[in-house]
Amino acid sequence: MDYVIILYHKILNEELTLSKITTPTVILNFKTYLESSGENALKLAKALENVANESGITMVAAPQTADIFRINDETNIPILAQHIDPISPGGHTGSNLLECLMESGINGTLLNHSEIRMKLADIGYIVKKIRDNDLFSVVCTNNIETSVAAATLNPNFVAVEPPELIGSGIPVSQAEPEIVEGTVAKVKKINKNVEILCGAGISTGEDMKAAMDLGASGVLLASGIILAKDPQSALLDLVSKI
Amino acid sequence: MDYVIILYHKILNEELTLSKITTPTVILNFKTYLESSGENALKLAKALENVANESGITMVAAPQTADIFRINDETNIPILAQHIDPISPGGHTGSNLLECLMESGINGTLLNHSEIRMKLADIGYIVKKIRDNDLFSVVCTNNIETSVAAATLNPNFVAVEPPELIGSGIPVSQAEPEIVEGTVAKVKKINKNVEILCGAGISTGEDMKAAMDLGASGVLLASGIILAKDPQSALLDLVSKI
Amino acid sequence: MDYVIILYHKILNEELTLSKITTPTVILNFKTYLESSGENALKLAKALENVANESGITMVAAPQTADIFRINDETNIPILAQHIDPISPGGHTGSNLLECLMESGINGTLLNHSEIRMKLADIGYIVKKIRDNDLFSVVCTNNIETSVAAATLNPNFVAVEPPELIGSGIPVSQAEPEIVEGTVAKVKKINKNVEILCGAGISTGEDMKAAMDLGASGVLLASGIILAKDPQSALLDLVSKI
Amino acid sequence: MDYVIILYHKILNEELTLSKITTPTVILNFKTYLESSGENALKLAKALENVANESGITMVAAPQTADIFRINDETNIPILAQHIDPISPGGHTGSNLLECLMESGINGTLLNHSEIRMKLADIGYIVKKIRDNDLFSVVCTNNIETSVAAATLNPNFVAVEPPELIGSGIPVSQAEPEIVEGTVAKVKKINKNVEILCGAGISTGEDMKAAMDLGASGVLLASGIILAKDPQSALLDLVSKI
């Protein structure tokens, strides 16, 4: 579990900054809640930073695109985009260009979340572009089969999340532990460089411990933390059992 | 031509700032060029600001989402998003929530650009949400018929752009003047509160003058300015004939 | 209510056949239920034909694409596609070309159903192509505003269906009568050639009568009939009050 | 090369019919050309049948959905859909349900063609559903990496087609032979049950021979045959060198 992924993150094309994303890893997907937008996004990012400092565990923020610049400016935690459009520079009104997001401060991106599933060819394109830029990719998947398919594309992480459990409050590690175990076993067999995250329904220390015990290298969270009365306490509880 | 649109722009839900977008209006769609991303986006926004100050003509920036916060922080020009997803707050990973973009500093948005066409129901939803928030909407359209349909939804502007001329360097005001004239005539008949912008192939002072002579209230620009050797000079030329 | 729409339907580009679609009109959207696929689709089309013959009311089938040829071959009722892709002949693997569907026997098409919403530009393109081929278009919409926008494109019918009532069993004519009345009033004001259909939750004779009383020229049905124990009886009941 | 795939094809859920798709295999994607729609689709299917009978080589038709029933009725060749929507029975207006296409006579389907790319999760869903129904799946891909990812999902065939060569008339077997060879090598390493087809720019006997020499089990064709002056002669030439 002490596997270390080293990220070189080019800021403004001028200098290289070294970020370490160590496992266990906690990634918080901010989605598009009011509780995680604008000023609230900044507060949430600072809660992640506080808990990372206190616990020594890597806490990663995945905020909305409009909030990336400011969070990068005011905190010191790794940042992922929630999605990157499979485009090269040019005429793509309304899309998010990787190069632009890099200047804003991302260290990588989520891809293929169940709320914005991507075409196979586009996942292949962006995972490669992310790797070529020494950034960090987390491909979300819905079952063991698609986890294995995604793993052949060589992302850093696969985050397996049965869609019916997302936002349910029922942790996948309890409801369908065989999916997490099966994903770990089959993904590692095909590509041992890929780490597995456990998503969907995770919010407590028990959930996270169960996920790690099943072989996951970390967790992907969202509403369970964002909508908690006190997100920072919820994050502290999350990492309390490992 | 001295029609004035007054915008109330809520910053951080705390105070109201008054922006005036007067016609003639120049809107620069930054798209996703490297020349209009990150640091370059900021330079381009400052060029717009300089030309606005010099000419007294409203110059509006429509940058990528990741650059909005910074441009709002460092310049004083109106900012449009290039697109807004038709969502309400909640679980919509990878989307851009209007409320989040408002906190970043937008005064409104482009909608339905030919590079990111929208469903009719979604245009209706977002145009209404934009109006309810005292922001500013520009619906792009491809011909007279869809311009009239869009105008019934009561946006502030319709920007008519025959798709085959976008990025062509051939100005619509020259190639198909009857589309601009026809759009002005038929849109004004159905909804006199909607102003018409002329897009596609516009880059010079001649083009802009021709557009205004056909009844347009302004222009929507992109690559002709973004890729110019000296964008600020190109913008000065653009407004030199009116 | 005796308004008559005359359709010329070109079969195999060889001869013209005259179909009359008179109002009141009943359109049954077969969707993709097993109860309305293949052999079952044929049975359902025959039930429509029987009720049309018995009642004198126009009954229209909108089956899945794969079932159109056979239903046209074995029944004598008007047929609509459920959707037509906005393409011209060429390389569009997996799409449905209007010209191909015409050879299979369609008299027109549904467009923009809530389960397959279309882009504004695409609705404009297909409504025009349908009219140019003397076929029949029904544009589905979600509220008064988008109904008016759709009506400016000059389809034969607008079918207004509040999405939250689709498949609910709660008839729009009862739950939100003001939407039907408002759509009739505002659409007729902007384009008196467009007839209004009432969709969402309609299944009984009471529902249909209420819809007609609100100014609709007919109804758009689906699960209420398809999943009925005896669809033919359900259809007979539907038209029993007018 | 004498590898045999046996297909059980359920017709009307009543009886099982045995189809043999032997390699080498020729699949003709009819796309949406007028030359391959309606009556012309039937003629093209009969040309495929004639050449299959004459050459002993399996010739498969992939017509538009509206033409499947008739081609199945009037010819004796295997039929693939061009695409199947990732849905289960229910409310999915405008989609094509697998169960409905099976009743119309398909033996399987193309999936993820470059003109209708699919999401990874949807490819996984449909490939499994196809296999569960003893049908035949051909997943199109754009390069070696996505071919390997697709192969882990266990379809019958992967058809690799560099998008820039599709419809170009330049055969992939000549322009980028390393893509075909690399796909064969890497796919067979990960899943030896998957056969590789060579697509993009193939139209002559030379092209097909080259494809087979690179390890492909057959070819996926389209405009090179459909738009030929005499498609039947073109098909005879195609299989003349093997």
Each residue of A157-213: pLDDT tens digit? 999 988 777 777 788 777 888 999 999 999 999 999 999 999 877 888 988 998 899
Q: Which residue has the higher pLDDT, B176 or D111?
A: D111
Could you give the angle at the alpha carbon of D56 between the alpha carbons of D53 and D58, nearest 5°?
90
Could you tell me if A142 lies within 8 Å of chain D, comparing CB atoms? yes
The string of pLDDT tens digits covering residues D48-80 is 999 999 999 999 999 999 999 999 999 999 999
The string of pLDDT tens digits covering residues A216-228 is 999 999 999 999 9
* Inter-residue contact A72 to A100 (CB < 8 Å): no
DSSP A152: T
Q: What is the mean pLDDT of residues A125-132?
A: 96
The string of pLDDT tens digits covering residues C2-42 is 333 333 333 333 333 335 567 899 999 999 999 999 999 99
Q: Which of C113, C145, C164, C178 is catalytic?
A: C113
pLDDT for B21 equals: 67
Tokens of C52: 């049309």
Tokens of B162: 């025959």
Strand partners, C81: C109
User: In which band, very low, low, confident or very high, does the pLDDT at D201 lie, cut at 50, 70 and 90?
Assistant: confident
Question: Before A24, cis peptide (omega within 30)?
Answer: yes
Q: Which ranges of chain C would DSSP assign to H, the alpha helix?
A: 39-55, 65-74, 98-104, 120-132, 144-151, 172-175, 177-190, 205-213, 223-226, 231-238
| CA distance linking residue B20 with residue B4, whole number of Å | 7
The string of pLDDT tens digits covering residues B9-45 is 333 333 333 355 678 999 999 999 999 999 999 999 9
In a mutational test of the D interface, the residue from A120, A128, A153, A191 whose CB has the highest number of chain D CBs within 10 Å is: A120
Is residue C18 domain-resident? no
Q: Which residue has the higher pLDDT, A65 or D11?
A: A65
How far is it between the farthest Cα atoms of chain D?
49
Could you tell me if A147 lies within 8 Å of chain D, comparing CB atoms? no
Task: Give the SS3 label for residue C8.
Answer: strand
The string of pLDDT tens digits covering residues A18-76 is 355 678 999 999 999 999 999 999 999 999 999 999 999 999 999 999 999 999 999 99
Is the pLDDT reported for residue D10 higher than 50?
Answer: no
Is residue B173 domain-resident? yes
Sequence letter at residue C170? I
Q: Which of B161, B164, B195, B206 is catalytic?
A: B161
pLDDT for A58 equals: 93
Q: Which residue has the higher pLDDT, D17 or D212?
A: D212
pLDDT for B20 equals: 55
Task: Give the SS3 label for residue A88.
Answer: coil
Q: List the one residue out of B115, B113, B139, B114 whose CA is nearest residue B125.
A: B139
Could you give the angle at the alpha carbon of A110 between the alpha carbons of A106 and A115, nearest 5°?
135
What count of residues does chain A have? 242
| CA distance linking residue C136 with residue D175, whole number of Å | 47
DSSP C3: -
Is residue D41 domain-resident? yes
What is the number of helices (H) and of strands (E) in chain D?
10, 10
Task: Kindly determine whether residue C92 and residue D39, on different chains, have CB atoms separated by under 8 Å.
Answer: no
Sequence letter at residue C216? A
Tokens of B5: 């649109």
The β-bridge relationship of strands A136-141 and A108-111 is parallel
In a mutational test of the B interface, the residue from A39, A64, A67, A83 whose CB has the highest number of chain B CBs within 10 Å is: A64
Is residue A110 domain-resident? yes
Strand partners, A110: A138
| CA distance linking residue B231 with residue B228, whole number of Å | 5
- Of A103-112, B153-162, C196-205, D90-99, the one with minimum mean pLDDT is C196-205
Is the pLDDT reported for residue B98 higher than 50?
Answer: yes
How close D43 gets to chain C, by Cα (Å)? 14
| CA distance linking residue A178 with residue A176, whole number of Å | 5
Is the pLDDT reported for residue B203 higher than 60?
Answer: yes
Is residue C217 domain-resident? yes
DSSP B166: T
Could you tell me if C152 lies within 8 Å of chain B, comparing CB atoms? yes
Residues 63-102 of D with CB under 8 A from C: 64-70, 82-83, 87, 89-97, 99-102
The string of pLDDT tens digits covering residues C157-189 is 999 988 777 777 788 777 888 999 999 999 999
| CA distance linking residue A61 with residue A52, whole number of Å | 11
| CA distance linking residue B10 with residue A70, whole number of Å | 19
Give the start-end residues of each E strand in chain D: 4-11, 15-22, 25-29, 58-62, 80-81, 108-111, 136-141, 157-160, 195-198, 218-221
| CA distance linking residue C118 with residue C85, whole number of Å | 9
* Inter-residue contact D51 to D232 (CB < 8 Å): yes
In a mutational test of the C interface, the residue from B114, B115, B120 whose CB has the highest number of chain C CBs within 10 Å is: B120
| D63 φ, ψ (degrees, to nearest 5) | -85, 175
Supply the range of the domain harboring residue D143.
24-238
Tokens of D135: 């049908």
Is the pLDDT reported for residue C63 higher than 80?
Answer: yes
| D15 φ, ψ (degrees, to nearest 5) | -140, 165
Q: How far apart are the first and last CA of chain D?
A: 11
Count the domains in chain D. Answer: 1
CA-only gyration radius of chain A, Å:
16
| B140 φ, ψ (degrees, to nearest 5) | -80, 145
| CA distance linking residue D164 with residue D176, whole number of Å | 11
Q: Which domain CATH number covers B78? A: 3.20.20.70
Residue B113 designated active-site: yes
Question: Before D24, cis peptide (omega within 30)?
Answer: yes
Q: What is the mean pLDDT of residues B198-226?
A: 90
pLDDT for D168 equals: 75
Could you tell me if B32 lies within 8 Å of chain A, comparing CB atoms? yes
pLDDT for D161 equals: 87
Chain A: residue whose CA lies nearest to D152: A149
State pTM to two decimals: 0.91
| CA distance linking residue D105 with residue B69, whole number of Å | 56
Chains that touch A (3 or more CB pairs under 8 A): B, D
Tokens of B28: 């620069």
Q: Cβ-count burial of B186 within 10 angstroms (0-12 exposed, 13-18 middle, 19+ buried)?
A: middle
User: In which band, very low, low, confident or very high, does the pLDDT at D4 lie, cut at 50, 70 and 90?
Assistant: very low
* Inter-residue contact C205 to C240 (CB < 8 Å): yes
DSSP C116: S
| D144 φ, ψ (degrees, to nearest 5) | -65, -40
| CA distance linking residue C229 with residue C233, whole number of Å | 9
The β-bridge relationship of strands A4-11 and A15-22 is antiparallel
**Which position has the token pair 């456990």?**
A198
| CA distance linking residue D50 with residue D56, whole number of Å | 10
Q: What is the mean pLDDT of residues C231-239?
A: 95
Task: Give the SS3 label for residue A240.
Answer: coil
List Cα–Cα distances, B32 to A90, A110, A134, B12, in angstroms: 5, 20, 21, 27
DSSP D108: E
| CA distance linking residue C57 with residue C241, whole number of Å | 12
Chain B residues in contact with C128 (beta carbon < 8 A): 145
How close B13 gets to chain C, by Cα (Å)? 29
Task: Kindly determine whether residue C82 and residue D101, on different chains, have CB atoms separated by under 8 Å.
Answer: no
C144-151 and B120-132 are packed helices; what angle lies between their axes, rounded to 10 degrees?
Answer: 130
pLDDT for D3 equals: 36
The string of pLDDT tens digits covering residues B54-74 is 999 999 999 999 999 999 999
pLDDT for D20 equals: 55
CA atoms within 13 A on the CB side of D41: 31
Q: Which of C121, C143, C190 sits opposite B146 (nearest CB)?
A: C121
Residue D91 CA to its chain's centroid (Å): 28
Sequence letter at residue B175? A
Give the start-end residues of each E strand in B142-217: 157-160, 195-198
Tokens of A179: 């999916």
Q: What is the mean pLDDT of residues C112-129?
A: 96
| CA distance linking residue D107 with residue D136, whole number of Å | 6
Is the pLDDT reported for residue A238 higher than 70?
Answer: yes
pLDDT for D38 equals: 97
* Inter-residue contact B237 to B205 (CB < 8 Å): yes
Is residue B136 domain-resident? yes
pLDDT for A202 equals: 83
Q: List the one residue out of C4, C7, C2 whose CA is nearest residue C131.
A: C7
pLDDT for D12 equals: 36
* Inter-residue contact A212 to A24 (CB < 8 Å): yes
Q: Which of C114, C118, C153 sits opposite B149 (nearest CB)?
A: C153
Is residue B3 domain-resident? no
List Cα–Cα distances, B210 to A222, B217, B236, B241, D219, in angstroms: 52, 11, 16, 9, 54
CA atoms within 13 A on the CB side of D102: 22
The β-bridge relationship of strands B15-22 and C15-22 is unpaired
Is residue D212 domain-resident? yes
| C207 φ, ψ (degrees, to nearest 5) | -60, -45
**Which position has the token pair 């100005």?**
B171
| CA distance linking residue D127 with residue D155, whole number of Å | 6
Q: Cβ-count burial of D191 within 10 angstroms (0-12 exposed, 13-18 middle, 19+ buried)?
A: middle
pLDDT for D126 equals: 97
Within 8 A by CB and 6+ apart from A166, the residues are: A114, A199, A200, A201, A222, B91
Is the pLDDT reported for residue A11 higher than 80?
Answer: no
Within 8 A by CB and 6+ apart from A174, the residues are: A201, A207, A210
Is the pLDDT reported for residue D1 higher than 60?
Answer: no
